[in-house]
Structure 1
Amino acid sequence: DSLLLQLTGGDSLLRDTLLLDSLRRDSLALAPADTARTEKKRNWFMSDSMSLSRVCWMSIPIPGYGQIYNKQYWKLPILYGTFGTSLALYFHENKKFKPLKRRFEEITSQEMSRTEELDAVQSEMIRHNTRRQIYLFAAIGSYIYFIGDAAVNYATNDVSSVKKATTLATICPAAGQIYNKSYWKVPIVLGGFASMIYIIDWNTRGYQRFKKAYRLRYDYDQKVAAHNQWKEDVKNDPDLPEPENPASSTDEFKGRYSADFLKNLKNNYRRNRDLSIIATAGLYILQIVDAHVDAHLKDFDVSDDLSMRIEPAVDYAFIAGTGVRPVVGFNFSINF
């Protein structure tokens, strides 16, 4: 202020004018930096040139993000309608399924013989379980479909068909094969996944079954051992309290199998389940590699000027001691 007063000769009005002009220049100098920071924050969430990978990754936690980015807003009601309805119906059926399952486990933990109550509870439980699985698959299917739809309709940057095929195969098995128009591979991929899921479910149910049987049989053996020991000890101490008397039947197999046998079955089912999970992961990676390589091969020149042929061939050769004998093999030819 004192310097401004000296420069302006004591004129306060001129001093204030110079001061405001200086502040205005400072604000203009800082404005571009603030604008750049704001633009950077905006670009991180919704940029005009986001990569395909980022659009797909953002669509996972934010359903419909890809459709908003691609400006296909009319698809949002379909997405949230199918996904939300399927999810609501799943929770509705799951709410009915859980008490039936608890009741089924209560009955089977006491007696495995077929009764009218057990049949009725099991039938109702299976019905609600089937419905909830259908609704869950519908919710997951719609969720995955719209992530793939965002990748297919992405057109901001120049993205090769190889990257799109690989991205789609990563999002959903067989989607990359469909994008490459290798339709004959789709039943193989989906059939392989369906088979592996069935095998995993089969071994999981077997593991849970024999795990429960082993636990019941082990508890039964412990009670029998304690009761037999009490019979020996009561001779020396007549006032010794009697332990819990073991039940007449232990598990669904009525005691026909030993605890060690049931334990081995339990471990076998668990090992098969774990191996099936590893095989499913391998199949998932394999179909991604197949989609990637197949998309690359689509661009190769496979005309008559550049081709490879493998065909069966029959020839005759003279063999000492046996004469002329036919020889069967293959002809391998390359044209370039």
Structure 2
Amino acid sequence: MLNNRILITLSLVFVFIANLASAQVQDTLLKPTDTIKTALIKAVPMDTARKKTDTVKYINPGKVAGRKAVFRSMLIPGWGQLYNNQLLNDKLNAKGEKTGHFWQRTYTLGKVGLIYGGFGALTLSYIESRKNYKIFLTEAQFRAANPGKQQNEDLKRYGNTNVLDAQAIYKRNSQIVIFSYFAVYAAQIIDAYVAARLNFFDVDDKLSFNLSPAIINNPDFMYGFNHAPALKLSLRF
């Protein structure tokens, strides 16, 4: 009897455990599976920015000096020449050369004096031409309004045609003087620019030339003379 009870009890325990395990399995099967959400990993941008290389920009000192000389000459005639003289003095001082300053200063002041001397001469010529033009114009107008009469006693020796011609000549002279003003103004600007560029034009000491007499063959000569004198020019760079 005791053995039967033990067997029945173990059977009941076994059945209970089996039912419990089956219930847990069914419960796990009914639960939805957890879906793993994969987060999109944003790609980290790589540092592809290229570092700007430090490039040294070449500046032509002759071009810069030329622009400054032109600007100064346009403002005040002769200022560009004085600027070039200062550039040359600084260049000679940098090399330790003290010679040539006097002659360079004299040359520069001579150019400036020539510029203003030209302007002064043109001004006097313009004033004289305009004065004579007005004199002959007034005389021509008076003779046209009063035939056979003369207003200016100093112009009695001039006929009517000569008065008109003189009026036209002095008018043309005035126009030529105005054109010459612009010519002198432009010439001093060009001179300042060229001198400024030449201040920075490096000429090597090895540059030289040699001029010597020579004899060349010329088969075209008559009487059997095939040689002719010539000059030989040799350049060394």
Q: CA deviation at 1:221?
A: 5.2
- CA distance in 1 between counterparts of 2:186 and 2:79 reads 13
Q: What 5-or-longer segments of structure 1 have no aligned partner?
A: 1-158, 226-245
Q: What fraction of aligned residue pairs are identical, expressed as a percent?
A: 19
- CA distance in 2 between counterparts of 1:312 and 1:272 reads 47
Closer, same or farther in 2 for the Cα pair 1:176/1:250, shift >3 Å?
A: same
Cα distance per residue 1:135-166 (max 9 Å; x no partner):
xxxxxxxxxxxxxxxxxxxxxxxx95444323
What's the counterpart of residue 88 of structure 2?
A: none
The answer on whether the counterparts of 2:136 and 2:167 sit within 8 Å (CA) in structure 1 is no
The answer on whether the counterparts of 1:162 and 1:296 sit within 8 Å (CA) in structure 2 is yes
The answer on whether the counterparts of 1:211 and 1:263 sit within 8 Å (CA) in structure 2 is no
- CA distance in 1 between counterparts of 2:163 and 2:210 reads 55
What's the counterpart of residue 289 of structure 1?
A: 190
- CA distance in 2 between counterparts of 1:314 and 1:200 reads 51
Q: Does 1:333 align with 2:235?
A: yes
- CA distance in 2 between counterparts of 1:174 and 1:332 reads 39
- CA distance in 2 between counterparts of 1:177 and 1:262 reads 45
What's the counterpart of residue 272 of structure 1?
A: 173
Structure whose residues are more often helix by fraction: 1
Bigger Rg, structure 1 or 2: 2
Q: What 5-or-longer segments of structure 2 have no aligned partner?
A: 1-62, 86-103
**Residue 180 of structure 1 aligns to a residue in which SS?**
helix
The answer on whether the counterparts of 1:218 and 1:259 sit within 8 Å (CA) in structure 2 is no
The answer on whether the counterparts of 2:210 and 2:234 sit within 8 Å (CA) in structure 1 is yes
- CA distance in 1 between counterparts of 2:159 and 2:119 reads 31
Q: Does 1:317 align with 2:220?
A: no
Displaced runs of 4+ in structure 1, greater than 6 A? none
Tell me the TM-score normalised to structure 1 length: 0.38
Q: CA deviation at 1:256?
A: 0.9
Tell me the matched-pair count: 152
The answer on whether the counterparts of 1:193 and 1:280 sit within 8 Å (CA) in structure 2 is no
The answer on whether the counterparts of 1:196 and 1:276 sit within 8 Å (CA) in structure 2 is no
What's the counterpart of residue 134 of structure 2?
A: 211
Tell me the TM-score normalised to structure 2 length: 0.51
RMSD of Structure 2 on Structure 1 (CA): 3.2
Q: How does 1:214-225 map to 2 (within 5 A)?
A: 214-220=137-143, 222-224=145-147
- CA distance in 2 between counterparts of 1:168 and 1:310 reads 37
The answer on whether the counterparts of 2:133 and 2:167 sit within 8 Å (CA) in structure 1 is yes
**Residue 73 of structure 2 aligns to a residue in which SS?**
helix
Amino acid in structure 2 at the alignment position of 1:256: R
Q: Does 1:195 align with 2:118?
A: yes
Closer, same or farther in 2 for the Cα pair 1:255/1:272, shift >3 Å?
A: same
Amino acid in structure 1 at the alignment position of 2:222: G
**Residue 230 of structure 2 aligns to a residue in which SS?**
strand
The answer on whether the counterparts of 1:165 and 1:292 sit within 8 Å (CA) in structure 2 is yes
- CA distance in 2 between counterparts of 1:297 and 1:202 reads 35
Closer, same or farther in 2 for the Cα pair 1:166/1:276, shift >3 Å?
A: same
- CA distance in 2 between counterparts of 1:332 and 1:274 reads 49
Q: CA deviation at 1:257?
A: 0.6
**Residue 201 of structure 2 aligns to a residue in which SS?**
coil
Closer, same or farther in 2 for the Cα pair 1:193/1:271, shift >3 Å?
A: farther
What's the counterpart of residue 74 of structure 2?
A: 170
Closer, same or farther in 2 for the Cα pair 1:284/1:206, shift >3 Å?
A: closer
Cα distance per residue 1:60-92 (max 9 Å; x no partner):
xxxxxxxxxxxxxxxxxxxxxxxxxxxxxxxxx
